[in-house]
């Protein structure tokens, strides 16, 4: 019997773009899918557009509507909680995918009965039509352990997206893995790090089958985005230090990943010219230990080494430099 794949699509005021995304999903060459659209408190008729597309398809679907906007993390959790598939993919409402996207990922995750699998993606720029492929950067003839891939992901040696990844539903539920409510930026990287650290096996396809659309309405960088992403790094590091299957990954989480997050936390305090918060954070035992331990990762991440050393040796100078407009 063909395995059921659930596609969860969080959507907030996506009426202008969700039609293309859903047509891309309904055109998949794999038949046994269910489509779950989570309308996260939209005010532009997103649900109506989605329903109009899906009722004219032969696909199993449902639309979940939140009365108020609760954020992408809650929307994904809500959709996942409603999923009945053996596998789940989190798809964005303004993106697209090749017709074989689901079948390629399904083959990758089932060939070795992995807990997760991923492929590369393409950046497509709406204004120009230009496409740039972002490959996973791995040798398809090699077998990689979950530990190897998790370490490579932490050090950004592999390229992947939450939306170009498929997960075994039972694995996520058994491990109680979900997106952090309230986190609107960096929630995807946090989730992937947590998932990978718990996986027994991870597989991949070398192709680039997901299409990440860039358009003028996309969210720009903001102070909130930087703060959310920073908190996500710290949460992920603490989670991995406690729950990762691999001792090596637990060590990297505590001795590098946490230091990176805490450095960003200190940068935020300095930019806000909040000296009290800066020095309070700097002098906690956790921060001091993480900064000192991170020095061993000089060959991999020299920029983290430089910042950690400056914070430990000349914190006042570091604060002055970072607090400048």
The answer to whether the beta carbons of residues 169 and 83 sit under 8 Å apart is: yes
Query: How many angstroms separate the CA atoms of 41 and 13, rounded?
Result: 8
Q: For strand 116-125 and strand 131-134, is the pairing parallel, antiparallel, or unpaired?
A: antiparallel
Residues 6+ apart with CB under 8 A from 217: 16
**Which region holds residue 323: left if phi is over 0, alpha if psi is between -120 and 50, else beta?**
alpha
> Is residue 298 over pLDDT 80?
yes
**Model confidence pLDDT, tens digit, residues 59-105:** 999 999 999 999 999 999 999 999 999 999 999 999 999 999 999 99
Q: How far apart are CA 60 and CA 235, in angstroms?
A: 36
Over residues 149-191, the pLDDT tens digits come to 999 999 999 988 999 999 999 999 999 999 999 999 999 999 9
- State how far the Cα of 75 lies from the Cα of 85, in Å rounded to an integer: 17
Query: Backbone phi, then psi, for 167, in 5-degree steps?
Result: -125, 145
Residue entry with tokens 């109680």? 176
Taking the C-alpha atoms of residue 64 and residue 75, their distance in angstroms, rounded to an integer, is 9
| pTM of the predicted structure, to 2 decimals | 0.94
Sign of torsion over alpha carbons 11, 17, 19, 25: negative
**295 pLDDT tier (thresholds 50, 70, 90):** confident
Domain coordinates of the chain in residue numbers? 5-214, 223-322
Each residue's pLDDT tens digit, 213-236: 987 766 555 778 899 999 999 999
Domain 5-214: CATH superfamily, name plus number: Spore Coat Polysaccharide Biosynthesis Protein SpsA; Chain A (3.90.550.10)
Q: How much is the pLDDT for 219? A: 58
- Select from 145, 136, 143 the least CA-distant residue to 210: 136
The total of other beta-carbon atoms located within 10 Å of residue 103's CB is 17
CA distances from 200 to 3, 107, 172, 220 (A): 20, 17, 12, 36
Distance between CA 30 and CA 46 in Å, rounded?
25
């Amino acid at each position: 019997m063909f395995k059921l794949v659930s596609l969860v699509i969080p959507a907030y005021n996506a009426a202008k773009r969700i039609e293309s995304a859903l047509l891309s999903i309904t055109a998949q060459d794999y038949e046994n899918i269910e489509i779950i659209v989570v309308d996260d408190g939209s005010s532009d008729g997103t649900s109506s557009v989605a329903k109009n597309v899906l009722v004219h398809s032969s696909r199993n679907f449902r639309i979940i509507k939140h009365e108020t906007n609760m954020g992408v993390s809650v929307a994904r959790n809500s959709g996942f909680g409603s999923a009945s598939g053996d596998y789940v993919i989190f798809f964005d409402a303004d993106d697209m995918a090749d017709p074989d996207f689901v079948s390629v990922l399904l083959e990758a995750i089932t060939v070795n009965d992995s807990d997760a699998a991923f492929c590369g993606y393409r950046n497509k720029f709406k204004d120009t039509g230009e496409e740039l492929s972002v490959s996973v950067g791995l040798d398809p003839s090699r077998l990689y352990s979950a530990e190897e891939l998790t370490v490579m992901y932490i050090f950004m040696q592999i390229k992947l997206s939450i939306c170009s990844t498929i997960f075994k539903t039972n694995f996520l539920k058994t491990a109680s893995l979900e997106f952090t409510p309230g986190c609107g930026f960096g929630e995807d990287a946090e989730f992937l790090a947590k998932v990978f650290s718990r996986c027994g096996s991870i597989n991949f396809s070398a192709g680039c089958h997901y299409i990440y659309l860039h358009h003028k309405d996309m969210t720009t960088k903001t102070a909130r985005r930087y703060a959310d992403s920073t908190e996500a790094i710290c949460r992920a590091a603490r989670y991995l230090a406690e729950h990762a299957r691999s001792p090596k990954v637990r060590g990297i989480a505590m001795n590098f990943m946490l230091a990176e997050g805490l450095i960003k936390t200190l940068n935020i305090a300095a930019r806000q010219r909040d000296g009290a918060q800066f020095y309070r954070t700097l002098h906690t035992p956790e921060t001091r230990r993480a900064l000192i331990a991170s020095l061993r990762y000089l060959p991999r991440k020299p920029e983290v080494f430089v910042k950690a050393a400056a914070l430990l040796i000349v914190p006042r100078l570091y604060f002055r430099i970072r607090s400048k407009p």
